[in-house]
Amino acid sequence: MAANTSEIKIRVGFGDSFRDLTVRIAEGDVPPYEPGTRFDVIGAAAPRLDAEAKVTGSARFTYDQNLPGLLHGKILRCPHPNANVKSVDLTAARAMPGVKAAISFPEVFRTEAVRFAWEGIAAVAAESEAQAEAALRAIAVEYEVLPFCVTREDAMKDGAPQVGRRNQQNVRRIYPEIPFTRDGTIDEKKEAARQVEMREAEAKVDRILKESDTVVQGTFYTQVQTHSPLETHGVVCTWENESLVCYCSTQATFAVRHELTHHQGPVRATNARVLCEYVGGGFGAKFGAGREGVAGALLAKAAGRPVKVMLDRREEHTTTGNRPDSHQVLAMAVAKTGEIRALRARSWGTAGTSPAGAGAHNDVMYELGEIDKIEYGVRTNANDARPLRAPGFPQGVFALEAMMDIAAASIGMDPIEFRKKNDAHPVRRAEYDIACERIGWAAKRGAPAVPRGGADGGRGVGPLRRGVGCASSLWFASGGGGAKVLVRVHKNGTVEVRNGAQDIGTGTRTILGMVVAEELGIRLADVATFIGDTNDPAGPGSGGSTTAPTLTPAARVAAHRAKRQLLDAVARAEGWDAGNLDLRGGKVVGRDGAALAREIDFRAACGLIAEDQIEVLGERPVLDKDHPNYGGLADTNAGVQCAEVEVDVETGLVRVLKVVAVADAGKLINPKLAESQVRGGVIQGVSYALYERRIMDRIEGRMVNADFEFYKILGAVDCPEIEVVLLDVFMGHNNTHVMGLGEPPVVATAAAVANAVAHAIGVRIHSLPITPRKVLAALAGEEVRG
Amino acid sequence: MTTGSEREDKGSAQSGVTRRAFLKGAGLSAAAAAGIAAGTGVLDSALAATPPLQVVGPGRRPITLNVNGSERRLEVEPSATLLDVVRGQLDLIGAKRVCDRGSCGACTMLVDGRPINSCTYLAIDAEGKRVTTVEGLAAPGAPLTRLQQAFIECDALQCGFCTPGMVMACTALLARNPSPARPEIAAAIAGNLCRCGTYQNIFEAVELAARRGAGGGR
């Protein structure tokens, strides 16, 4: 695509503030919706299309696939955090009752290294789960057990056991990135140049810190968080000759298909169909088939029968990724007038056996002046990172927003005034005021901490102290290319929308249907939407909040072209000019929406189609490979959250009473589903702030709390009141103005909660989660890190 | 973080495999058993009142389960959970195995109208009782319950994996308390985890259903 673009004028903005913008759009694209358009379907709070299936229990997830002749696959796990597998003997296991197939992982994955406890070693498929488990116990494995370290602190000590193999060191700089040559060695020349740049940035910021009116500093720690989707990772696989059918609990059907058919991969299916009509949560952990998926495919092939491999809760916690922890040291130079002059950031994070993904985004959002930032990833003998809803952001923003409050206090400025002073984002600037008003910022920040006489004279009663805090967010998702949506308008008036990507609970299926219904002037109920099948057109993985902004423009293009073809058919039959026709309210109408001399409803119009159906495969328009989208109101979307907490200073228990979340994600296709997304993000943010933490046993090297009793995720009784305010923004970027809303709402929450706690009790807790122990320690003038 | 839910404890006299019987049958030494008993006092008298130990298994055993109003003859391992039997043999797949130890509520079913975690409830213990799964609330094609309808309208679900368990826990709540206050709703689903974060929508759905006079009906 790309070469052919045309210049058009669009209007961008929100509320009552809009402006013209000249942009280039790709050939075949449709101009974006205009502000003031009267929508019939878009903007309505339609129930999600799969809601009925979900409340009746008929929604069949991967875990629910009961195929005839189904075998059950189980995986043998390594108890050692660091080891080399010398041998795996499957002979006895294969002879166990009910066992139909067995595979050895070192053979399949061509590596003998095991670098975290609970890594897979072998897998068996048997008639029952119990038989499979019994067979696992019959597998003989010989290990060379190696020393290990499972915490960041231990891995960074002099003489710490080496986590990786060959020349992999435990600590590696990940930002600025180390330049590597093609053969995997460091490009020394480029690295030398980078070192010079780093020293220059350091010197520059040194100078500003020395000359600045005020310098504030802080050290922050965050914990490892696991994704904890309720449906664990897993597959149900069945073969028809060389062709694999794989039901997979995934957020990237096509990536799984690619993995299972790759000519160098362990499965190498000639053809594969990946199915995922429903997925029980992913949050970033489910982008690939995983070893369990490969095992399912290979066991099914070996047994000649369908095999189900679903991980159990312990496997899910310990082998499917996590949000890395962090240790962040920040310094900020601030002028008396409130401008931030410079930020210095050093951070270390452990993402398990690979240093990748351990960064903390603590230099974002605000006009921060000169920045000197270096990040290190630390290898530990623990499971690797995978993207977890806004990877790198909740941890970085927790530290940055704490610094914002500390800096504001140091110059005697209100925290929100201070943020506004250093924030140029047009949407976020408006959002601060809304958030302030809804949480009652002025009154609550102004009230004394201890009550004067009555219960409502201050910010607390007895041992309970209340406080409010604020934090903001940003995200980048305007979607990209590579996706296609198929729209079929049948002669009998039915409409079919197809895309092979998945709906991970965000409402993708529903908003696809809504965009098509809007374009065709019909009701959502008149559109049948099919997703989650790689035999349908290509779609994106649901990561980075890109699904909605990638698919809705493609759906609109497809529906628009289908509409024009339908109107051509009508015009031919009636002798009208197709250019003067449109579809609206289930009828053919004039271009201006006016009724026509002869009324033709949608179904009658479809009857005029010459063939059996109109079929349009609409491709996601992109400008060019590097710039999929055109200009807009701002590069990023925004968001501001305010939290109110109540802290019991005798027990240390923190309760989040209320969170106001002001959010935007471009144009809102379905505000009800958008609100649900935001509420969910806030809940995960509060859960991260107060409860969740992977605990590693340093002696045994295993995760101690790999369950749902001791790995705490927020429950109903801890759920705060969440007030969501959504801004409908005509953003530009693409023809629907849609941006994603998966990640944004989780970015600010933990930071806002932490700032509210600091306001409530007058001392700051520098580490997450904010447990009662840390609150009591902080009140006693001590600091607890972990 | 959740507090204790209002689930029925498992075990019953039906199969004879109660927790008390298990303590005896598991060959605890008299001293140890006495130690426990001395510590609780309650257990002491409970032990005395326990019916004679009945051995179940090994091997499959025929049972009849009343599931969603119909009698189903099945053969089950004595160790099989109600969840696995209902899912595996009856293909009623609404209830989910998520934590497999009674800490998340995704497997919630009703036994004689009371919510239980079917992942920690033996199938043989459900004999002679009425088992209701989410599929039993509204037959295919029949109208949904007011609660289910309210779940849809309030968007009280995202990925949908916890939803059947939530619906069952809330159905039981409305049957015993037709107009619950919000803390009562939260307590009723305190044993049900949702990772997508639909709790507030569920509160709203239960309140909507209560306003429309749900009480568990249509």
Q: Which of B99, B134, B140 sits opposite A313 (nearest CB)?
A: B99
Structure tokens at A147: 């020393």
Q: Among candidates A309, A743, A722, which has minimal Cα distance to A506?
A: A743
The answer to whether residues A609 and A563 touch, using CB atoms and an 8 Å cutoff, is no
Average pLDDT over every residue of A721-740:
97
Q: For residue A501, what is the DSSP state?
A: S
Q: Which of A130, A312, A676 sits opposite B155 (nearest CB)?
A: A676
Average pLDDT over every residue of A448-476:
83
Integer Cα distance of A90 and A100 in angstroms: 12
In single-letter form, the type of residue at position A62 comes to: T
Query: What is residue A446's predicted lDDT score, i.e. its pLDDT?
Result: 86
Query: What is residue B1's predicted lDDT score, i.e. its pLDDT?
Result: 41
Q: Which helix (H) or strand (E) holds B185?
A: helix B182-188
Chain B hits for A673, Cβ within 8 Å: 155
CA A493 to chain centre: 37
CATH code of the domain made up of A425-477+632-779: 3.30.365.10
Structure tokens at A435: 């958030």
SS3 A82: coil
Place of tokens 């995986």: A75
> Is the torsion defined by CA of A177, A183, A186, A189 positive or negative?
negative
Q: Do B92 and A57 touch (CB under 8 A)?
A: yes
Structure tokens at A137: 């116990």
Q: Do A47 and B3 touch (CB under 8 A)?
A: no
Integer Cα distance of A747 and A685 in angstroms: 7
Query: What is residue A697's predicted lDDT score, i.e. its pLDDT?
Result: 96
Structure tokens at A693: 């933490």
Query: What is residue B43's predicted lDDT score, i.e. its pLDDT?
Result: 56
Chain A hits for B200, Cβ within 8 Å: 679, 719, 721-722
Query: What is residue A416's predicted lDDT score, i.e. its pLDDT?
Result: 97
Query: What is residue A447's predicted lDDT score, i.e. its pLDDT?
Result: 84
> Is the torsion defined by CA of A159, A161, A164, A167 positive or negative?
positive
Q: Which of B77, B151, B159 sits opposite A55 (nearest CB)?
A: B151
A436: left (phi over 0), alpha (psi -120 to 50) or beta: alpha
Place of tokens 């102004």: A446
pLDDT of residue A70 exceeding 50, the answer is yes
Q: Which of B200, B202, B218 is the best mutation test for A, with the most CBs of A within 10 A?
A: B200
CB atoms within 10 A of CB A581: 22
Query: What is residue B12's predicted lDDT score, i.e. its pLDDT?
Result: 43
Q: What torsion do the CA atoms of B17, B20, B21, B23 make, to the nearest 10 degrees?
A: 120
Chain B hits for A679, Cβ within 8 Å: 197-198, 200-201
Structure tokens at A623: 């400008």
Q: Do B193 and A712 touch (CB under 8 A)?
A: no
A276-299: pLDDT as tens digits: 999 999 999 999 999 999 999 999
Chain A hits for B196, Cβ within 8 Å: 281, 505, 680
Chain A hits for B135, Cβ within 8 Å: 56-58
Q: For residue A459, what is the DSSP state?
A: S
Q: Do domains A65-146+233-310 and A425-477+632-779 have the same CATH topology?
A: no
> Mind telling me how many Å the CA of A317 is from chain B's nearest CA?
11
Query: What is residue B55's predicted lDDT score, i.e. its pLDDT?
Result: 86
Chain B hits for A675, Cβ within 8 Å: 155
In single-letter form, the type of residue at position A755 comes to: N
- Which residues, given as ranges, of chain B have pLDDT below 50? 1-5, 8-40, 216, 218
Query: What is residue B58's predicted lDDT score, i.e. its pLDDT?
Result: 87
- Interfacial B residues in 139-158 facing A (CB < 8 Å): 140, 144, 148, 151-153, 155, 157-158
In single-letter form, the type of residue at position A583 comes to: L
SS3 A274: strand
Q: Which of A50, A278, A679 sits opposite B201 (nearest CB)?
A: A679
Architecture in CATH for domain B146-211: Orthogonal Bundle (1.10)
The answer to whether residues B63 and B74 touch, using CB atoms and an 8 Å cutoff, is yes
Integer Cα distance of B128 and B67 in angstroms: 10
Structure tokens at A243: 């062709």
Q: Do A708 and B137 touch (CB under 8 A)?
A: no
Q: Which helix (H) or strand (E) holds A309?
A: strand A307-310
SS3 A108: helix
Q: Among candidates A435, A437, A432, A410, which has minimal Cα distance to A422?
A: A432
Q: What is the CA radius of gyration of chain A?
A: 28
Q: What's the mean per-residue pLDDT of chain A?
A: 96
Structure tokens at A298: 């290979």
Task: Give helix then strand counts, H and E, for chain A.
Answer: 20, 31
The answer to whether residues B197 and A679 touch, using CB atoms and an 8 Å cutoff, is yes
Integer Cα distance of A660 and A726 in angstroms: 11
Integer Cα distance of A126 and B200 in angstroms: 42
Pairing of strands A214-222, A326-334: antiparallel
Inter-axis angle of helices B42-49 and B30-40, nearest 10: 120
pLDDT band at A455, cuts 50/70/90? low
Place of tokens 């965050």: A222
- Interfacial B residues in 42-101 facing A (CB < 8 Å): 77, 87-88, 91-101
In percent, how much of chain A has pLDDT > 70? 99
Which of A73-112 are b and which e, b meaning 16 or more Cβ less than 10 Å from the residue's Cβ? bbbbbbebbbbbbeebebeebeebebbbbbbbbbebeeeb
Pairing of strands A729-730, A721-727: unpaired
Q: Among candidates A677, A672, A648, A678, which has minimal Cα distance to A660?
A: A678
pLDDT of residue A103 exceeding 70, the answer is yes
Structure tokens at B132: 């209701």
Q: For residue A272, what is the DSSP state?
A: E
Q: Among candidates A230, A283, A365, which has minimal Cα distance to A637?
A: A365
**CB of B190 less than 8 A from some CB of A:** yes
Any residues with CB less than 8 A from the CB of A394 and at least 6 apart, and which?
A: A222, A323, A685, A688, A746, A747, A749, A750, A751
Query: What is residue A458's predicted lDDT score, i.e. its pLDDT?
Result: 78
Integer Cα distance of A651 and A639 in angstroms: 33
CA A344 to chain centre: 27
Residue A733 CA: distances (Å) to CA of A22, A37, A390, A623, A630: 12, 18, 21, 10, 5
Query: What is residue B49's predicted lDDT score, i.e. its pLDDT?
Result: 66
The answer to whether residues A220 and A402 touch, using CB atoms and an 8 Å cutoff, is yes
CATH code of the domain made up of A65-146+233-310: 3.90.1170.50
Q: DSSP string of A505-517? A: SS-HHHHHHHHHH
Q: Do B160 and A53 touch (CB under 8 A)?
A: yes
Integer Cα distance of A775 and A429 in angstroms: 32
**CB of B197 less than 8 A from some CB of A:** yes
Q: Do B151 and A672 touch (CB under 8 A)?
A: no
Structure tokens at A651: 């027990």
Q: Do A313 and B193 touch (CB under 8 A)?
A: no
Q: Do B97 and A63 touch (CB under 8 A)?
A: yes
Any residues with CB less than 8 A from the CB of A635 and at least 6 apart, and which?
A: A476
pLDDT band at A3, cuts 50/70/90? low
Any residues with CB less than 8 A from the CB of A765 and at least 6 apart, and which?
A: A754, A757, A758, A774, A775, A778
> Mind telling me how many Å the CA of A406 is from chain B's nearest CA?
30
∠ CA B85-A53-B100, rounded to 5°? 35
Query: What is residue A784's predicted lDDT score, i.e. its pLDDT?
Result: 77
Integer Cα distance of B218 and B207 in angstroms: 15
pLDDT band at A593, cuts 50/70/90? confident
Integer Cα distance of A186 and A168 in angstroms: 12
Chain B hits for A60, Cβ within 8 Å: 93
Query: What is residue A452's predicted lDDT score, i.e. its pLDDT?
Result: 62
Peptide bond into A448 cis (omega under 30): no
Q: Among candidates A427, A322, A294, which has minimal Cα distance to A385?
A: A322
Query: What is residue A485's predicted lDDT score, i.e. its pLDDT?
Result: 98
> Mind telling me how many Å the CA of B184 is from chain A's nearest CA?
9
Residue A131 CA: distances (Å) to CA of A98, A341, B57, B61: 6, 65, 17, 18
The answer to whether residues B193 and A713 touch, using CB atoms and an 8 Å cutoff, is yes
Pairing of strands A71-77, A307-310: parallel
> Mind telling me how many Å the CA of A275 is from chain B's nearest CA?
16
Domain A32-60+479-619 top-level CATH class: alpha beta
In single-letter form, the type of residue at position A731 comes to: M
Q: Among candidates A536, A574, A579, A525, which has minimal Cα distance to A558?
A: A536
Integer Cα distance of B80 and B88 in angstroms: 10
CB atoms within 10 A of CB A421: 18
Options 3.10.20.30, 3.40.50.300, 3.40.980.10, 3.30.1360.70; CATH for B61-136 is: 3.10.20.30
Domain regions of chain B by residue span:
19-49, 61-136, 146-211
**CB of B134 less than 8 A from some CB of A:** yes
Domain regions of chain A by residue span:
32-60+479-619, 65-146+233-310, 425-477+632-779
Structure tokens at A308: 């189900």
